[in-house]
Amino acid sequence: MMEKNKIVATIGPATNSPNMLKKMFAAGMSIARLNGSHNTLDWHKNTIKLIKRTLPDCPILLDIPGKKIRTAKLTIEPIFKKNDILILTTELGFDGTKKISLTNNKLHLFLKKNDLLYADDGTLKFRVIKIIGKDIYIKAYASGKLKSAKGINVPHVNITGNLITKRDKKMLQFAEKNKVDFVGLSFIESGEHLKKIRKLIKAEIPKLVAKIENQKGLDNKEDIIDNSDCIMIDRGDLSTETNLELLPQNQKKIIKSCIKYSKPVIVATEMLDNMIQNPYPTKAEVLDIYNSINDGATATMLSGETAVGKYPVDSIKVMKTISENALNTSSRLEKKLEENGMAEAIKNLCDFLPITKLVAITVSGFAARIVASKKIKQPILALTNRENLARSFNIYSGTKGIYYKTRFYKSSVEHIPRCLKYLWKINEINKRDMILVISLGYPAKGRRMNFLQTHYVKDLIKVFNWK
């Protein structure tokens, strides 16, 4: 999968079947996402197995809840009118009939009368009337329905507690054990927050996708970006936790900072919300996706559109078409990479030589990430000898991660011809290609691209007598 813009699609009841997964992948899905706030761990375990069995090359992103407050699983999802009074409670066991249980058992301690409370990505608004024990009485601003497992936001209320919950630790262990490629981390507020999470993960995967979705996250965005593997802009929580009217410029600021640090960034929430129930997007949705990609987003994400929507495959096709149109006319933000001037040189070579493919021979994916950030027009083949990392490279723009079981030498570059022959054998390069090969040339220390070669593949076939 070497699409310039990646499409993250959430797998849910509407799409967790081999047939639907294949259709979604064919339509343009780059990464399969699972929402850890919904369904059981057994469901997620079985779905991970299903995805790996059906789409072995498709990376998997598991979103874990973090400290986000949600409604519990409800038997009755209450329907209410304007000015109706609902009772939320931090006591578990209420099914929505009389009271609505919340996942946070201390929220009542931090609220006071007249505090504003939002639900379901800010689509529902309430005012706190009174608090009696663990019960929070709220008054609705408009008619609506409060559903199970929907987010609860209380902007400007400082809710203290552990940065990493017991549930998060359990889900991180689950993610590592089941070998997902990425974990989405909610309400990340600092680089230190990420460092603590990283210490809990003993393996190289999963990679960390930090979600910026409140004011602390915005204030510390560069520290967060620097310590993450990828950023997700969760616009639902970000808009309710900060200011809806400032969402466009906040999104642009985050993307600009991600470009500065050469980190991939996913834009999420209500990208094609209309297509949950309807076969076509709105004009505003088309503009939103186009502008997000034009600003520099690496990926766009579908949530309810593919998890529970009526048109999951069509949603992916629409997003792919809009993405391609945006990339064809994009005037990307240019940036200077102080850490690696090679990236600019590589881009110039790709612009002025008849190069058809770029081959990054990399252990960690660093070379692929840096070059991909330049949005070169050629597809990038990122070859590594670490099987567990290969799929994670697919999140980089225009990049396909490839695993090859071989030794990478620290005192020579003799493994490089062997890697190129492997790419030829699996038909990733052919005799019509002119390739640019980038790697770490030895002897060298650190993560520096200091090795460049251009080759006509037909010459390699002849010289090395490939058969």
Let me know if residue 1 belongs to a domain.
no
Q: Are residues 48 and 120 in the same domain?
A: no
pLDDT given for residue 27 in this prediction: 96
Question: Would you place residue 445 in the very low, low, confident or very high pLDDT band (cuts 50, 70, 90)?
Answer: low
Q: What is the CATH number of the domain that holds 89?
A: 2.40.33.10
Q: Are residues 184 and 322 in the same domain?
A: yes
State mean pLDDT over 427-446.
Answer: 83
Q: Are residues 319 and 415 in the same domain?
A: no
- The structure tokens listed for 362 are 């990399």
Contacts of 439 (CB under 8 A, 6+ apart): 360, 361, 362, 367, 413, 416, 449, 451
Let me know if residue 337 belongs to a domain.
no
Please give the DSSP secondary-structure letter assigned to residue 179: T
pLDDT top residue among 332 and 404 = 404
Q: Are residues 131 and 204 in the same domain?
A: no
Let me know if residue 267 belongs to a domain.
yes
Number of domains observed in the structure of the chain: 3
Q: Are residues 175 and 293 in the same domain?
A: yes
pLDDT at 462 over 50: yes
pLDDT at 339 over 70: no
Let me know if residue 335 belongs to a domain.
no
Among 305, 329, 353, the domain boundary falls at 329
pLDDT given for residue 240 in this prediction: 86
CA distance 276 to 110: 35
CA distance 207 to 223: 17
The residue range of the domain holding 112 is 69-153
Q: Are residues 267 and 306 in the same domain?
A: yes
Average pLDDT value for the chain: 90
Contact 31, 2 (CB under 8 A): no
State mean pLDDT over 81-90.
Answer: 95
Let me know if residue 394 belongs to a domain.
yes
Residue-wise pLDDT tens digits, 53-73: 999 999 999 999 877 788 988
Contacts of 259 (CB under 8 A, 6+ apart): 296, 333, 335, 373
State mean pLDDT over 150-165.
Answer: 79
Contact 63, 37 (CB under 8 A): yes
pLDDT given for residue 202 in this prediction: 79
CA distance 101 to 93: 7
Q: What is the CATH number of the domain that holds 204?
A: 3.20.20.60
Q: 454: alpha, beta or left, given left = phi > 0 and alpha = psi -120 to 50?
A: beta
- The structure tokens listed for 385 are 């000898």
pLDDT at 164 over 50: yes
Say whether the peptide bond before residue 443 is cis (omega within 30 degrees of 0): yes
pLDDT top residue among 39 and 25 = 25
Among 273, 299, 329, the domain boundary falls at 329
pLDDT at 39 over 60: yes
Let me know if residue 229 belongs to a domain.
yes
Q: Are residues 168 and 293 in the same domain?
A: yes
pLDDT given for residue 335 in this prediction: 41
Which residue(s) pair with 262 in the sheet?
A: none
Q: Are residues 250 and 302 in the same domain?
A: yes
Let me know if residue 336 belongs to a domain.
no
Among 307, 329, 351, the domain boundary falls at 329
Using DSSP, state whether 321 is helix, strand or coil.
helix
pLDDT given for residue 117 in this prediction: 92
Q: Are residues 245 and 278 in the same domain?
A: yes
* Model pTM score: 0.84
Let me know if residue 297 belongs to a domain.
yes
Q: Are residues 324 and 376 in the same domain?
A: no
CA distance 50 to 58: 11
Rounded to the nearest 10°, the torsion over CA 391, 393, 398, 404 is: -70
Using DSSP, state whether 361 is helix, strand or coil.
strand
Q: Are residues 283 and 304 in the same domain?
A: yes
Q: Are residues 193 and 275 in the same domain?
A: yes
pLDDT given for residue 441 in this prediction: 66
Residue-wise pLDDT tens digits, 7-38: 999 999 999 999 999 999 999 999 999 998 88
Question: Would you place residue 450 in the very low, low, confident or very high pLDDT band (cuts 50, 70, 90)?
Answer: confident
pLDDT given for residue 336 in this prediction: 42
Question: Would you place residue 340 in the very low, low, confident or very high pLDDT band (cuts 50, 70, 90)?
Answer: low
Q: Which residue has the tokens 């699409």?
A: 3
pLDDT at 200 over 60: yes
